Structure 1
Amino acid sequence: MAQEEIIKLKAEIFDIIRQQELYVANANHLQQKRTEKLQELRDAEQKGVSEEITKIKSQAFDIMIQQEAYISETNKLQQMKTQKLQILNELEQNLEKQQVPQQAPIQQP
């Protein structure tokens, strides 16, 4: 029973880690897009085109919001992973205690 729970928890933790990796990759991609937008913004500011500046700021803002959402979800997943790792640790410790053979008392002659 405990062994089945351990296997299930490990699979759940694996899924959480995979999801975290996807969110981090998406956040990193958005960071790259944001950096590109900031460069576009600098170029537009040098040209002094106010309509273009406003449009780029709006696009950069949207990217920032998306990025924050991925970061927030990654943090939630981290909390879930930490909780599940604690449970896993407890289950493994309990299983080890159950598997330690009980020694019979040494009888004195």
Structure 2
Amino acid sequence: MTSLYLLAIVGSTVCMGLVDRRWRLFLFDRPRFALGVVAAGVAFFLAWDLVAISLGIYERGDSPAMTGLELADELPVEEIFFVLFFCYLTMVLHRLLLRVVLPALDARGPRERSVR
């Protein structure tokens, strides 16, 4: 067992943090609010995972890239980091959409938007 998967998730989260820091999209724009949103998302998805595990819907897969450590039955430690990354990525992309993509579409005007 290795930590390759965990390292990939942590590395991706760090890279997302660098993008966020550069353009102050989410965590580096409003840190307290961002931490609260991410914490709520992580809590929600971990509760979802625990319900799925208890119903027998979700099972831990085996992979040589995973650490093999479990926080609970069928709940690998990597799941916490994946859910954290997933929530953070979603909010950074949401803020990017609000700040960059939608204003660019509005600047094009109604005629240019409808002609495609």
TM-score interval for Structure 1 and Structure 2 normalised by the shorter chain: 0.3 to 0.5
Q: Which has the higher strand share?
A: 2
**Which structure is higher in RCO with an 8 Å CA cutoff and minimum separation 6?**
1
| TM-score under structure 1 length normalisation | 0.34
Q: Between Structure 1 and Structure 2, which shows a larger proportion of helix residues? A: 1
